Amino acid sequence: MYGFEALTFNIHGGYLEAIVRGYRSGLLTAADYNNLCQCETLDDIKMHLSATEYGPYLQNEPSPLHTTTIVEKCTLKLVDEYKHMLTQATEPLSTFLEYITYGHMIDNVVLIVTGTLHERDVQELLEKCHPLGMFDSIATLAVAQNMRELYRLVLVDTPLAPYFSECITSEDLDDMNIEIMRNTLYKAYLEDFYRFCQKLGGATAEIMCDLLAFEADRRAVNITINSIGTELTRDDRRKLYSNFGLLYPYGHEELAVCEDIDQVRGAMEKYPPYQSIFSKLSYGESQMLDKAFYEEEVKRLCLAFEQQFHYAVFFAYMRLREQEIRNLMWISECVAQNQKARVHDSVVFIF
């Protein structure tokens, strides 16, 4: 019932919407980033962050600091905020919040399976997993030899189980199969999340479907660029694209046959929202594409806060905070490795 959310939304969602808008006001500003980019050491970064909402999480960390410590503590803050919102949420918001973490679950599954394939220590891999994507039986992923075992032994009891129906094969796991599995799972997850948002209706459906369509289109472009020069056939490539978004279906037909980055650019420039992204790149260049997509995503996420009485603000806040953590990781790495000239290369300003 679009336009009438104001009548009933605040009964269950008003408190949490106020909370998430409060969290948003704590995101780092352009002035904060400019100060962070001037820092000479990681301790300087810690000192500057002590004046922000990250202060309590970093205050007891001894010197010398490591980049991983800063990222870990900043992620811990995001996890604490997410858990607070989840415990206060009622249906359907609680399900919506759970959907946000499924992407991290997929990444964690792929990380463990790939690490096991390369004979890495499981405990070491678990430490690298994103805390929002953890589930009870994640450590036992290491025993699986192929997709069928992976599903039967571990994933059948997780929220990812329905997404596995398309990628259960008896083939042994190798790097190529794992990457195809990741993209197949992501496709199923995004389509499921898209359907769920449509079912919610109203402003939530309008804003979330737009954000998810952008995510699906970005993944389609990345899949195309990453599969150029591999043995992945055109049909296999097309199967990995999500069945919604601005590029669906005609853009997908064009992307499936692209042989180099300039052909991808030619296909994408027919779509006005993506024309501006590709106009920032010179021909034959794809290194800055990720940053251009992140900047466009941040712009769209910030717009989600302009409207009230919808759930998209929770998704937008989580994504903006994750982008902020990526920014902090990049700045910290540049400072730690004495590469300050490159510090602005990958920082995406949020406000």
Q: How confident is the model at residue 8 (pLDDT cuts 50, 70, 90)?
A: confident
The whole-number pLDDT of residue 168 equals 66
336 and 187 assigned to the same domain: no
163 and 253 assigned to the same domain: yes
Percent of the chain with pLDDT over 70: 95
Q: Percentage helix, strand, coil, to 5, in the chain? A: 70, 0, 30
The whole-number pLDDT of residue 282 equals 74
Q: How confident is the model at residue 174 (pLDDT cuts 50, 70, 90)?
A: confident
141 and 251 assigned to the same domain: yes
Can the peptide bond before residue 272 be classed as cis, meaning omega within 30 degrees of 0? no
The whole-number pLDDT of residue 286 equals 66
User: pLDDT tens across 120-170, in order?
Assistant: 888 888 889 999 999 887 877 777 777 777 777 777 888 888 888 766 666
Q: How many domains does the chain have?
A: 2
252 and 272 assigned to the same domain: yes
Domain that holds residue 340: 21-82+311-350
Q: List, as one string, the DSSP characters of 26-46.
A: TS--HHHHHHHHT-SSHHHHH
33 and 49 assigned to the same domain: yes
Exposure letters 61-86 (e unless 16+ CB within 10 A, then b): beeebebebbbebbbebbeebbeebb
Average pLDDT, the chain: 89
| Residue 141: closest CA among 132, 130, 131, 158 | 158
27 and 148 assigned to the same domain: no
Q: How many CB atoms lie within 10 A of CB 170?
A: 9
Cα–Cα distance for residue pair 153/255, rounded to 1 Å: 36
User: pLDDT tens across 273-283, in order?
Assistant: 999 888 887 76
208 and 337 assigned to the same domain: no
Helices (H), 25-174: 30-37, 42-49, 55-58, 67-88, 93-117, 122-128, 147-149
User: pLDDT tens across 220-251, in order?
Assistant: 999 999 988 888 888 989 999 999 999 998 99
296 and 147 assigned to the same domain: yes
15 and 25 assigned to the same domain: no
Cα–Cα distance for residue pair 251/244, rounded to 1 Å: 11
Cα–Cα distance for residue pair 135/156, rounded to 1 Å: 12
